[in-house]
Structure 1
């Protein structure tokens, strides 16, 4: 054994400390005796874990709150507000089941006053909604007949004039004038032919010498549809078919009406949502008065 008065060797002392550390029991700390996570011990004079340790405060880091969030107090807080998107812009982003964009529904403008031709058939308590002439395709047949007759009879008149038969030439010219007169009559009849909508009924007025007036109350319309041929879809016209209690009516089929989809929505809205029509009409009247006052 070594001399007890001599100092212990440094290697022996280090080995002894390692053996003592390895054999030292690990202390058991119960949860109720130890510090809570929201109330950690403080370091020096700094605040507890709930407010952030002292070194965290000096470094500029926010402490741990009860929810475990960390903030940087020196940096400004940036607020975010959602973008302001109008209804028209939102409608442009909407798509249907096939992925095609859905366009906002167009509504034909409400006319303020009926024409003198229509006003005589309206009674004071009904509200006028609009009147429409038939599509120009309604004149296609008379116009084609007029054009063909002009070329054919013009050529025939020139040929007969060269044959020195003045009587036949006069007949050809009179026949051509008769065809043009018939075409003019058809155009005038088209001009006076109107489809009329009020808040109580639909009407058709036509005829120049003999005037025909047909009407159907909206309350009696049991079914309404419109049909469009490929040419009608291309030129934007259609045929309206109205049913009333399963009976034949004078107003059952109205051909060659323009803008059939918008007109259909107008009639259906008048039948099922008259309050919406009145509200829109009142809004338009108020806006017009405001513009006049300005």
Structure 2
């Protein structure tokens, strides 16, 4: 580029001097007392921490670039219903389970070793007593009518025999009721067990680690009365227990066993929260 007529000649180094002058201009700084997140005691040597900086808010944004502040995810009431818990740490919502017993009964405690964590015990559904109760009712009516008929016929020996038979049937019914009371399905963090018998006690168990498949079946009557049959499949050939009939609340029990098999940490966390709530209430 030439110089103007009559003016001073062009300096060939002038463009480089102007560029160096522009590159070395001082950067304007904002006073420390006017910037957000700084105090008078803050020093550049230590640097401001992340907690001293401006916090994100729902209304904060980054201009027109379209990148807003972080917003927490939103969940519907239906999605949260299965996650909320009550004071005892139990889920509130459609999948509500009954609270666990704190301690095993005396009938069960003798079969648990010290390091085993007790999860619950269940008696069989009352439908298990249908056959004995029906037999006892039918025997009462039939033998009562027979005793009255024989008494009118003046046959004392046969009347006495009918009464003895009735007492025998009632004794068998009472035995079945007692056997139902002592029959328990037990769940721990290590195994499932079935304990039954009044005089001769029978204990069958299956480790949870060996359970390869588990299902429960409900007939139409079972769905109405809330009972079902559990079928446990094991990796071994000989199975101490495979089919357990007439268990109450089969859906709840199924969820408990599956959770104990696949999410034991969740069970421990829920029980720990329940213990903390109980301790706080007692304090």
Return the TM-score normalized by structure 1: 0.66
Output the CA distance in 1 between the equivalents of 2:143 and 2:79. Answer: 58
Q: Deviations over 1:204-235 (max 9, x none)?
A: 00000100000000000000000000000000
Q: Deviations over 1:68-117 (max 9, x none)?
A: xxxxxxxxxxxxxxxx998579649xxxxxxxxxx621222121000011
2:226 to 236, 249, 270: 236
- 2:242 corresponds to 1:252: yes
2:170 to 147, 158, 180: 180
Checking the alignment, whether the CA contact within 8 Å between 1:108 and 1:263 is kept in structure 2 is: no
2:145 to 155, 160, 166: 155
Output the CA distance in 1 between the equivalents of 2:255 and 2:75. Answer: 27
1:107 to 80, 97, 103: 97
Partner of 2:112: 122
Checking the alignment, whether the CA contact within 8 Å between 1:220 and 1:245 is kept in structure 2 is: yes
Could you tell me how far 1:247 is from its partner in structure 2? 2.4
Output the CA distance in 1 between the equivalents of 2:122 and 2:184. Answer: 5
- Secondary structure at the counterpart of residue 187 of structure 2: strand
Distance 1:88-1:283 versus aligned 2 partners, 3 A rule: farther
- 2:190 corresponds to 1:200: yes
1:168 to 158, 172, 176: 158
Name stretches of at least 5 consecutive residues in structure 1 with no aligned partner. Answer: 1-66, 68-83, 93-102
Higher relative contact order (CA 8 A, sep 6+): 2
Output the CA distance in 2 between the equivalents of 1:246 and 1:122. Answer: 23
Partner of 1:266: 256
Matches within 5 A, 1:1-294: 87=77, 91=81, 104-245=94-235, 247-293=237-283
Name stretches of at least 5 consecutive residues in structure 2 with no aligned partner. Answer: 1-63, 65-73, 83-92
Output the CA distance in 2 between the equivalents of 1:144 and 1:86. Answer: 51
Return the TM-score normalized by structure 2: 0.68
Q: Deviations over 1:168-221 (max 9, x none)?
A: 000000000000000000000000000000000000000001000000000000
Q: What is the Cα-based RMSD across aligned positions, in Å?
A: 2.0
Checking the alignment, whether the CA contact within 8 Å between 1:222 and 1:245 is kept in structure 2 is: yes
Distance 1:87-1:112 versus aligned 2 partners, 3 A rule: farther
Q: Structure 1 stretches (4+) deviating beyond 2 angstroms?
A: 84-92
- Secondary structure at the counterpart of residue 241 of structure 1: strand
Q: Deviations over 1:6-64 (max 9, x none)?
A: xxxxxxxxxxxxxxxxxxxxxxxxxxxxxxxxxxxxxxxxxxxxxxxxxxxxxxxxxxx
